[in-house]
Chain A
Amino acid sequence: MNTSSTAQYSALGSRAPSAITIAILAMGGEGGGVLADWIVDLAEHSGFFAQKTSVPGVAQRTGSTIYYCEIFPENAAQAAGKEPVLALSPVLGELDVVIASELMECGRAIQRGLVTPDRTTLIASTHRVYSMSERTDLADGRVDASQFIEAGTAAARSFVRTDFAHIAHDTGSVISAPLFGALAATGALPFSREQFEDAVRRGGVGVDSSLAAFAIGFDAAVAPARKPTGAPPADPSVGARMRPAAARVKSAFPAESHAIVLAGVLRLGDYQDEQYAAEYLDKLDNIRDLDTEFGKGDFFLLNETARHLALWMSYEDAIRVADLKIRRARFERVHDEVQARADQLVRISEFLHPRIDEIADILPAPLGRWLLRPGLVKRVVERLTRNGRIVETTSLSGFLQLYLIASLRPLRRRALRFGRERALMQSWLAEVARVASEDYALACEIAMCPRLLKGYGDTHARGSRNFAAVMGAICALRMRPNAAEGLRRLTDAALADDTGEKLTFALGAIS
C-alpha cells in the first residue's frame, strides 16, 4: 500500500491537476451568492466538479462576507478513477481568482493575503460603499481608497478594475452580472464566453439585463476604460449683474485664489445680490494683503478665509432653504434621481421643522426680538411649531408658501440673524487678520475654524458652542509653542463626537 500510493503520487508529480480556486468578497444582500451560483452552474455544465460554500447567516444584512468556490475537471478525475477532495475555505496564497464587489472589500482580500502575484487574477469594482465609521464622521472620515488600487496592482498577477456598480445601475442589473462578464474576459477560467452566457440564461432571472451588463463588464475587462484626463474645469459662467465683481476678482486677486473667490462671489450674488458680493471682496482685500506679505505664495490663508467667509455669509436661513427648494433645476434633479418616465407623476414633499428661533431669525431684528420675548405670543408660536411640517413643493400651496418665504430676500439685511452672524463673522475675521502677521500658520487654522459651524437647529447650536469655545482658547494657545497644531487638535476634537466629550477634554488639557 505504501509503495503503490507513493508511486501513484510520483506519477502525478507535483504538477498534478489541482482545483481552480475562486473567492468572492462581497457584502450581504449584494448578490455575491448569485455570482457564486453562476460559477457553480457554469462549471457543472462544462465538465467540472464544483463546490461552493459560504457563511451566510447574518450576511444578508450588509456585513462583509466571503463566498468560496472550487472547480475541478471531471476528466482528470476519471483518469485518476477518483473524485477530488475540495476545500471549504480559501487558503491564503492559493487563490486563482479573487472577485471583490467593492473597493474596501478588495483591500480586505489583499489584507487577508488572498491575492498573490504568482497566480491571482483580481477583479474589483472601484466604487465605494462607505463603512459605518466613514459615514457617521462629523466631517470627512473617508479612507484613502487609492491605496487599495495601488495594493491590488502590486499584489495581483492581473488586476481588472472598473466601476461595476455603475454598469449594473446603467443596465438595470445587479453587480454580479458585469463581474461575471469581467471574469469571462480574464480567461482565468477555462470556459468560453458562450458557456458563461449560457449559465446566466439558465439562471432564468432578469436574463436580458444581466446579459447586457455581462457584455459591458466583459468589454471593460478587455479594454479598461481610460478615464478622460479632461480639460481643467472651465471658469463658471457669470451673469451680467456679477461681471464687475468677477472682473475685480481677476484684477485684484492672485490667480491661486481665483477659483474659490469667484465661487464665493457667485454664491453671494445668488444668496443676496451683487452688492453683498462686493462686500465680500472688501472684507477679503485685507487678508489678501496680509497673505502676500506673510504667506508662502500659495495664498492658503486667503483661499481658506475666502471659502469659509463665503459659506458663513451665505448661512442657511429659511429664506435660503426655501429659495433652493423651489428652483427648476432642483425639480429636474429630483426627476433624474428617481428616474421618472414622462408618463409618471412625481410629487416632492419637504420635511421642514422651522422653530420659533428660525422664524425670528428671518424677521426684521426688532420684530424678531419681540417674538422671542417671553410671553403669550412666544408660547403660541412655540406651540404651533412644536411638530415638523411636511410641505409638498409640487403642490400649488406648498410651492407658493416657499416662494413667499424666498421672496423675503430683500429684507434679509435687516433680519435678526443677519446682524448676529455679521458680528460673529467680523470678530473671527479680525482675529485672522490680527494673528496673520505674527503666526501665519495659526491664522490659517483660525481661518478654517468655521468648519465647525454646520447644520441647523440643535446641530448648529452645538457647532456654534464649539466654535466659541475653540476661538476662546486661542489666547491661551498663543502662549505655547506650536499654537497652530494646538488649534488643529481642538477643532479635530470638536469634530470627533457630537457629545462634546473630546473637546472638553482637549480644552482641559490647555487651560
Chain B
Amino acid sequence: MAERSFKKEVQKLYLGDGAEFRGEGILAVTKALLQSGVSYIAGYQGAPISHLMDVLADSSDILDELGVHFEQSASEATAAATLAASVNYPLRGAVTFKSTVGTNVASDALANLASGGVTGGALIIVGEDYGDGSSIMQERSHAFAMKSQMWLLDPRPNLPSIVRAVEQSFELSEASNTPVMLELRIRACHVHGRFVAKDNVRPTFTLKDAMEKPVRDVSRIVLPPASFLHEQEKIHTRWPAAQRFIEARGLNEFFAEQSQDFGIILQGGMYNTISRSLELLGLSTPFGESRVPLLVLNVTYPLCDADIRRFCSGKRGVLVVEEGQPNFIEQSLHALLHEADVPSKIHGKDMLPMAGEYTAPTMIQGVLKFVMRYAPHLIDDLRLPAAARTAPTRPLAMLPVTSASLTSQIHPRPPSFCTGCPERPIFTAMKLVERELGVHHVSCDIGCHLFSILPPFNIGATTMGYGLGWAGAAAFNTKETSRRTISIMGDGGFWHNGLTSGVGNAVFNKTDSVLIVVDNSYTAATGGQDILSSAATVPARTTKLSIANAVRGVGVKWVRSVTRTYDVAKMRDTLKEALTTKSRGPKVIVAQGECALNRERRERPLVARRAKEGKRVVRERFGVDADTCTGDHSCIRLSGCPSLTIKDNPDPLRTDPVATVLDSCIGCGLCGEVAHAAVLCPSFYRSDVITNPSAIERLHARVRRAVISLVHRRIDRRLASILG
C-alpha cells in the first residue's frame, strides 16, 4: 500500500491481554489471527477485506516479531494454494479474499486442499459481498463450502463473536483436518465495535521448522487411489469429527430455548437484525432477551444434527432465516427432521423472500407473519413498528408525504470516476472515435474502468470477470468483417490473470482485435494496492515492471503506450490507428496515468509543505467563463468529472445553466484537452496560481500588469460609456 498509512491501525495489533480493542470488524479479525498463533497470512485485496491486507502490509515489525509471513498474493487462487503449507505441517495459516468472486478464482486450489485435508488449522476469511451495495453477482459462498466439504462459519456480527469465531475456526480445522471458511458480510467487516484483547502468540512450530525438516505423505496428495480415500475420510471421519466439535464446544448458540413451542433458526450473521426485529415487535429487549427461542448457527455448514434435533424437538414450527438462494439450510433441515421423525413444520422462504438482502423491514415482516401463525396473542397490533405495516416491496406506500412526483425528482447516484481520474480521458477518446468510426463492440473488465458503462459514457457490453476483458471478446474473431472489437482490462486484472487468459489467448488464437490496458499504477478499485507494474518503490516487493514489455514477451507485435491519458487527441489517434491499421493480429494499447486519488493522497501534503517552506509551487485548476458558455453541456457529456458541474446562468437573458468548475478541481487538464480535441468551445481556461514566485517572475509580472492595465483603462472607458 503505497499512498496511505495504516500506522494507527497497526498499533491496535499490539494490544495485550485484557486491553480493550476498539475498531473495525475486519481489523478485529486481523488481531484475532495474531492471537491464534498463525504462521502465515495471504490474500487478494477486494471489498470488504482490503483493510486486513492493507494493515498487514504496514505491519512488518509485528509480523517479523511473531515470525508470521504475510504475502499479497497474485490472485485468490495463489492465496488458496498458499494454504498447502498446512497440509503436512502443524502450521496455522489464513487467507482472505472477496467472495464469491474471489472464491470462484480460488476454488481449484480449495477443492484440492479440501480433498487431502489439513494438519494445521487452515482458515479462509471470505468477505461476503452480497445485497445492498454489493458490486458483484448474487451468489453464496455457502455453495463452495458444500461442494468441497469445507466448514463454514457465519458468526454473530459483533466483535467478540467474530474474534471467538476466528479462534474456534483454527481449532475446528485441526480437530476435523478440514479447511474452514469464515464468512463476514460487508457491514460486519466495517462495523465499529469493541472486544477485550489477548496477547499475540508466536507459533511454536514455525515455517523454518517445516522448511528445514520437510515431510511428505503421499496419502495427502490428490491422485488415485489417495483421492478415493479422501472421499471416504470426508464422510466417515472429518464430518463427524466436526459435528462433535461443534456440539461439544457449543459453537452454535441457543437463546430462550424453551420459552415457546416455536422458534427461529438463523445464520449467525443475521442475529442483530433478527434481534432488532423482535425488539420492534415487542418480543425482545435491546439486550437481546428474546421471548422467542433462537438457534443461532454460527456454523452454517455442516449442520450439527444434535443441535437441530435438540432445538426442534417439541416445537410446532421453526422459521429458518437464511439469506440468499438457493436455501441450502432450509432444504437440509427438511431432510434432517424428516429422517429424525421430528414433526416440526419448517418455514423459511415461504415467509421471507426467496431472493434479496434480508434488511430489517423484510425480516420484521417475515417474523411477524411467523409469530402471527403460531402465537398471535404475543403481537400487540397497536404497537407495530412502521416497517411492519407495509409490504417490503413497496416501502413508498407507507410514507407520510412521499409522492410519485418526489420520487421522480430523486436520481440514482451511482459511483463514478473521481475528479482527475486518468481513466476518464480514455473513454472520452473512445466517444470521439465512436463519432468518427461508428460504434464498436466493447468488452469490459472489473475495476474502476467499469464505470464507463454508466452515463455519460455508456460504453461497454459485457464484463465476464476480473482480468477477463479480452477473453470476453474471444468469440468475435472472424475474417468476415474488418470491424474490430475493443476490450478493456485494468492493470490489476492484467497481472491477476489477464496476461495469460487475455493476451496469451489472443496471440495464440491470432485475434484481430484491440485491447486497452488501463495502467494506473495500483489495483485502484480495491483501495490502491501495489502490483508488479506499480510506479512506487516498495522495499518488500518487486515493482516497476512494464506491462508493455510483458505483452511483447508473450508475442504481441502491435503495442502502443500512451503515457499521459489526459492527452485525449493522442489517445483518440492511437485508438483510431489500432482500429483501422492494415496490420492484422492482436493490438494492445497501454494507457498510463496514475490513479488521481492515490496521487493526491501522496502529493497534496508534499505540496503544502513545499509552499510552507517558501519553495515555488504551482497550483493548476480549470475554470469556465460563464459569459461565453452557452449551456449545451457537451463538455460534461464527454467527461462526467465530479468537479465539472452546472450553476445558475448569471446572464439575465439566458435561462439554461452554465458549466462551472468546482474548487475540488485538481487541474488534470482533461477539460482543456476535450475542448481542443472535440472542438467544443473557448470557455475553458486554466489558471495557474504560483506560490512563492521567483524574483524574476515577479518582475515580469509587474511589467505585464503595467501594460495590460493601460489597455484595460481604454477598454474600461468604452464599457463605462455603455454599461455605466
Which residues of A are in contact with B by a Cβ distance under 8 Å? 1-2, 5-6, 8-9, 12, 14, 16-19, 27-29, 40, 44, 50-65, 72, 76-77, 80, 82-94, 104-105, 107-108, 110-113, 116-117, 129-140, 142-145, 147-148, 150-151, 154-155, 169, 236-242, 259-260, 263-264, 266-267, 269-270, 274, 307, 310-311, 316, 320-321, 324-328, 330, 334, 337-338, 340, 343-353, 355, 387-388, 390, 393-396, 399-400, 403, 451, 454-459, 463, 498
Contact = CB atoms under 8 A, between A and B. Distances in A.
Contact of A347 (B451, B597, B688): B688
B697 A345 contact: yes
From A239, A347, A395, residue with most partner B Cβ within 10 Å:
A347
Contacts of B698: 345
- Name, among B187, B412, B633, B715, the residue most crowded by chain A CB atoms within 10 Å (CB to CB): B633
Given A107-B410, A111-B399, A83 B258 contact: no
A371 B258 CA distance: 96
Interface stretch (B209-217, B230-238, B275-283, B319-327): B275-283
A382 to B, nearest CB: 13
B556 interface: no
Nearest to A150: B401
Given A40-B192, A390-B672, A63 B410 contact: no
Contacts of A112: 395
Contact of A2 (B259, B448, B642, B654): B259
A51 B193 contact: yes
Contacts of A325: 625, 628, 682, 685
B634 interface: yes
B418 interface: yes
Nearest to A330: B625
B680 A455 contact: yes
Interface stretch (B108-116, B469-477, B705-713): B705-713
A327 B257 CA distance: 81
B690 A324 contact: no
Contacts of A18: 279, 286
Contacts of A113: 386, 395-396, 398-399, 402
A40 B688 CA distance: 40
Most chain B CB atoms below 10 A, which of A84, A148, A345: A345
Nearest to A155: B401
The 6 closest A-B pairs by CB, nearest first: A93-B386, A388-B676, A237-B724, A55-B133, A63-B415, A131-B411
> Which of B129, B385, B711 neighbours the largest number of chain A CB atoms within 10 Å of its CB?
B711
B537 interface: no
A340 B618 CA distance: 12
A333 to B, nearest CB: 8
A338 B687 CA distance: 8
A241 B724 CA distance: 9
Contact of B401 (A63, A88, A154, A311): A154
B680 A136 contact: no
Contacts of A62: 413, 415-416, 418, 642
B540 interface: no
A110 B406 contact: yes
A409 B645 CA distance: 32
Contacts of A143: 409-411
Contacts of A241: 721-722
Contacts of A111: 396, 399, 402, 406-407, 410
B632 interface: yes
A293 to B, nearest CB: 25
A240 B628 contact: no
Contacts of A16: 285-286
Contacts of A144: 409
A72 B711 contact: no
B286 A85 contact: yes
Interface in B166-204: 186-188, 190-193
Contact of B402 (A27, A110, A343): A110
A63 B413 contact: yes
Residue of A93, A133, A240 with most chain B CB atoms under a 10 A cut-off: A93
A344 B405 contact: no
Interface stretch (B137-145, B359-367, B542-550, B557-565): B359-367
A324 B630 CA distance: 14
B383 interface: yes
Contact of B653 (A90, A263, A330, A347): A263
Contact of A104 (B193, B411, B693, B724): B411
B537 to A, nearest CB: 25
B335 interface: no
Given A1-B258, A14-B282, A87-B360, A351 B685 contact: yes
Contacts of B685: 325, 334, 348-351, 393
Contact of B689 (A240, A340, A387, A403): A340
A311 B631 CA distance: 13
Contacts of A269: 722-723
Interface stretch (B30-38, B287-295, B301-309, B498-506): B287-295
A269 B407 CA distance: 46
B690 A346 contact: yes
A307 B652 CA distance: 9
26 contacts: A52-B192, A58-B525, A60-B415, A84-B287, A85-B272, A85-B276, A88-B273, A91-B385, A111-B399, A113-B395, A132-B416, A138-B632, A140-B656, A143-B411, A147-B409, A154-B400, A260-B653, A263-B653, A310-B653, A324-B627, A324-B628, A326-B715, A337-B687, A345-B689, A345-B697, A459-B632
A388 B675 contact: yes
Considering residues B406, B672, B686, which has the most beta carbons from chain A within 10 angstroms of its beta carbon? B406
A459 to B, nearest CB: 5
Contact of B657 (A54, A140, A266): A140
B684 A5 contact: no
Contacts of B399: 110-111, 113, 155
Given A91-B276, A94-B386, A264-B653, A57 B135 contact: yes
A249 B609 CA distance: 58
A346 B687 contact: yes
B291 A9 contact: yes
A463 B192 CA distance: 54
A387 B282 contact: no
Contact of A458 (B257, B631, B679): B679
Interface string B627-658: 11011111011001010111000001111110
Nearest to A395: B704
A9 B677 CA distance: 71
A147 B405 contact: yes
Contact of B722 (A57, A270, A320): A270
